Amino acid sequence: MQLYGKLMTILASALAIAFLTPIASSAQTADPLAYVIRARVSNKVLDVPGFAANDGARIQQIVDNGGINQEWELVPVSNDYYKILSRWSGKVLDVPGFATNDGAQIQQFTDNGGLNQQWRLVPVGGGFVKFVSRWSGKVLDVPGGSTANGVIIQQFTDNGGINQQFQLIPITPVYKVVSRVSWKVLDVPGFDTDNHVLIQQFTDNGGINQQWTFVPTNSGYVKIISGSSGKALDIPNGDPANNVRLQQFTENGGLNQQWRLVKLADGYFKIISRATAKALDVPSGATADGVIIQQFTDHGGINQQWRLIRVR
């Protein structure tokens, strides 16, 4: 807990970045220590090439593509040091063979508790840090300040260069919202970005118009934001009637855009409007594509139950 607290201090004050707040006490959330690690010199991110899962895969920089092979967790060890764990492979950043020389290429390797797998985060200002190896005292470094994709990250003597500075960017979790009755997902038809577009259920096709982020407001409520339009899930005019069809609309802070996630058995949730206390509902339990989602009095039916499946 002491280490966690120190990391919070580093990232809140020195890095000046915001931390993820849990969606709700009962909902799925991201690990609050999960990040993309972006190089200051290149704007590229640390990446496990080709989704490799083997020991010895060299860590590269590449353009951010949203892959889980570019996501990292910081695991406290002791004395302000951390392991840097790949979310894809479960391996950690490692200085091969306990090397102490400049130019040693950083790899991923099975966690063995070695000092060559432990790193200290040192703020350098502007929201950036350097990563210092506990074993060698060298820092993570983009060779020659290269901006190219595929360049292998190395360790090098600390020289204060911006090619040795990195930004930790918290990962905002993204979900698809799956109906228990139909196994369809919430969908913005045709990737439409207009206000008043009605929200439907549709077969899961992996589209960004079927992806949603859950943004905390207060008192355990969230806004549900479309990945394709950036609009919020909205009850038109806060109408409290049954069978009112849901739309997307520009965020405006209204209670008709706020929702409470109520955990049920088997990993499902009810999604309840703050404005009307009605539940997100598939009309009559229909299973067809294109059925418009409505609000309805909470009655416990499986057509009002939803699973949140994380896609990032």
CA–CA–CA angle 163, 169, 174 (5° rounding) = 145
Pair (159, 235) in one structural domain: no
Residue 6 DSSP code: H
pLDDT in tens, 245-279: 999 999 999 999 999 999 998 899 999 999 999 99
- Maximum Cα–Cα distance across the chain: 70
pLDDT in tens, 47-88: 999 999 999 999 999 999 888 899 999 989 988 899 999 999
Pair (165, 237) in one structural domain: no
Pair (251, 108) in one structural domain: no
Pair (163, 212) in one structural domain: no
pLDDT of 29 over the 60 cut:
no
Pair (141, 226) in one structural domain: no
Q: What was the pLDDT predicted at 88?
A: 93
Pair (155, 275) in one structural domain: no
Pair (156, 21) in one structural domain: yes
Pair (163, 224) in one structural domain: no
Pair (144, 203) in one structural domain: no
CATH of the domain at 259: 2.80.10.50
pLDDT of 31 over the 50 cut:
no
Domain residues for 68?
2-170
Better-scored residue on pLDDT, 15 or 9 = 9
- The two tokens of residue 255 are 């209670």
Task: Return d(Cα 65, Cα 4) in angstroms, integer.
Answer: 29
User: Mean pLDDT over residues 143-163, rounded?
Assistant: 98
pTM of the model: 0.59
pLDDT of 286 over the 50 cut:
yes
Better-scored residue on pLDDT, 309 or 219 = 309
Residue 290 DSSP code: T
Task: Return d(Cα 56, Cα 240) in angstroms, integer.
Answer: 59
Give which of 94, 164, 153, 121 is closest to 17, Cα–Cα. Answer: 121
Residue 1 exposed, middle or buried by CB count within 10 Å (0-12, 13-18, 19+): exposed
Give which of 174, 178, 102, 186 is closest to 139, Cα–Cα. Answer: 102
Task: Return d(Cα 272, Cα 306) in angstroms, integer.
Answer: 11
Pair (161, 274) in one structural domain: no
Strand partners, 259: 222, 273
Q: Domain ends where: 170, 197, 214?
A: 170
Give which of 180, 227, 229, 230 is closest to 201, Cα–Cα. Answer: 180
Structural domain total, the chain:
2
pLDDT of 280 over the 70 cut:
yes
Residue 196 exposed, middle or buried by CB count within 10 Å (0-12, 13-18, 19+): exposed
- Taken in order 242, 243, 245, 246, is the CA torsion positive or negative? positive
Q: What is the mean pLDDT of the chain?
A: 90
pLDDT of 15 over the 70 cut:
no
Q: What was the pLDDT predicted at 14?
A: 36
Q: Assign 3-state DSSP to the chain and report helix, strand, coil percentages, each to 5.
A: 15, 35, 50
Q: What was the pLDDT predicted at 79?
A: 87
**Are residues 249 and 163 in contact, defined by beta-carbon separation less than 8 angstroms?**
no
pLDDT of 176 over the 70 cut:
yes
User: Mean pLDDT over residues 146-155, rounded?
Assistant: 98
Q: Domain ends where: 170, 185, 218?
A: 170
Pair (152, 166) in one structural domain: yes
Better-scored residue on pLDDT, 105 or 1 = 105
Q: What was the pLDDT predicted at 106?
A: 98
Q: What was the pLDDT predicted at 6?
A: 52
Pair (103, 228) in one structural domain: no
Q: Domain ends where: 142, 170, 198?
A: 170
